[in-house]
Amino acid sequence: MAYTPEENNQIAKDFFETAWNYGDFSVLDKYLTPDSMDYSTLHGHPEQGSDSFRQIISMFRAGFPDIHLTIEDEIYTGDKVVHRWVLSGTHSEPFMGMPATGKQVAFNGMTIVEMHDGKIAGRWSIPDMMGLMTQLGAVPPPPA
Amino acid sequence: MTTSPDEAKATVQRWFHEIWSQGDEQAVDEVLAPDLAFILSFNQVNGRDAFKRLLQANRTAFENLTYSANDDDIVVESDKAAAYWTMHTDKHRGTWQNIPPSGKEASIHGMSLFRFSNGQISEIRVISDFYSLLAQIGGIEQ
């Protein structure tokens, strides 16, 4: 059964929103292919499975308990889905070695997924880390 | 008038090859709408003239600046496209973002979202590993 691009998009949205906004990792088994590849891991090397993804989400949900993913733009065609998103939340717990600042952050990112038969076979993600780090006060903003 | 997917991909490739990797200003005039908006994390550049200045400033600061995206990594739907790209420079040779030339080689990944208007690119939104680039050229300690 072939999935339409619209169906692929709904699956991808469900996957990311459920994982990020509820910390519900049941979607990992539900929506990832057995050999699903993550091309945007914490350590920078492509990795099979979802360990890095779980780690990232857990880290953010711990440091920003009210973290919320909002998908702002969607492009879907063939077997690919692209989302432009915003992650927003309050830095109310320690995060990446930084004690809680209480700051409200909102940073952008984009993610591409490749779908096979209604499941995610590959994921690439670019978060705006510079945006996040400057909002946390960890680095100065770049010159205007 | 909607751009066809093949035309859109070809136009996006011109953005990476002719505009960014070659600094071809004629390509800028052909490919980019006059009122283009180039939206970065900390900056927005409007119009071709301002864009050309940014383009040349970056190509001056970074030796052999190259951007590339595989055709498979360009996704087109109607008047929008997205691309996953790689940037590379042989050498950070000029002051950039107040960071003095480090002489370092650097490369990062990023994604861009394009909007088309009358066959030209009218908007580009960029999300990139800017943080990693700054770390590679000594602008921040990671």
A10 burial type by CB count under 10 A (0-12 exposed, 13-18 middle, 19+ buried): middle
- Domains of chain B (ranges; CATH) run 5-136 (3.10.450.50)
The pLDDT of residue A12: 98
Residue A139: closest CA among chain B residues belongs to which residue?
B140
Query: Cβ–Cβ of A130/B130 closer than 8 Å?
Result: yes
Question: Average of pLDDT values for A55-59?
Answer: 97
Of the candidates A89, A109, A100, the residue with the CA atom closest to the CA atom of residue A138: A100
pLDDT of residue A43: 86
Whole-structure pTM over 0.90, yes or no? yes
Amino acid at B132: S
Q: Inter-chain contact B82–A141, Cβ cutoff 8 Å?
A: no
pLDDT, one tens digit per residue, over A58-101 is 999 999 999 999 999 999 999 999 999 999 999 999 999 999 99
Q: Which DSSP letter does residue A1 get?
A: -
**How distant is the alpha carbon of residue A63 from its chain centre?**
15
Distance CA A140, CA A137 (A): 7
Handedness of CA A64, A138, A96, A43 (dihedral sign): positive
Res A122 pLDDT > 70 = yes
Band the pLDDT of A138: cuts 50, 70, 90. very high
Chain B: which residues have CB within 8 Å of chain A? 5, 41-43, 73, 75-77, 80-82, 84, 97-98, 109-111, 113, 125, 127-132, 134, 140
For residue A37, the model assigns a pLDDT of 98
Task: State which H helix or E strand residue B56 sits in.
Answer: helix B48-61
Pairing between β-strand B32-39 and β-strand B120-128 as defined by DSSP bridges:
parallel
CB contact under 8 A, B42 and A142: yes
Chain A contact set for B128 (CB, 8 A): 126, 128
pLDDT digits (tens, 9 = 90+) for A24-43: 999 999 999 999 999 999 88
- For domain A5-136, give the CATH number: 3.10.450.50
| Angle between helical axes of A51-63 and A5-22 (0-180°, round to 10) | 50
Average pLDDT (B103-127) is: 97
Nearest to B97 among A109, A131, A142 (CB): A142
Query: Which member of B77, B97, B131 has the closest CB to residue A133?
Result: B131
Query: Mean of the per-residue pLDDT values for chain A?
Result: 96
CB A79 within 8 A of CB A55: no
Looking at chain B, how many residues does it have? 142
**How far is the alpha carbon of A30 from chain B, nearest alpha carbon, in Å?**
25
Which residues of chain B have a CB within 8 Å of the CB of A131? 41-42
Q: A126 to chain B: which residues are within 8 Å by CB?
A: 84, 109-111, 127-129
Residue of B nearest to A81 (CA): B75
Write out pLDDT tens, residues B40-57.
999 999 999 999 999 999
The region that residue B118 occupies, defined by phi over 0 for left and psi between -120 and 50 for alpha, beta otherwise, is: left
Q: For residue A89, count other CB atoms closer than 10 A to its CB.
A: 20
Share of chain B above pLDDT 90, in %: 94
User: pLDDT at residue B141 above 80?
Assistant: no
**What tokens were used for A114?**
């490749």
**Model confidence band, residue B100 (pLDDT cutoffs 50, 70, 90):** very high
Chain A closest-CA separation from residue B77 CA (Å) = 6
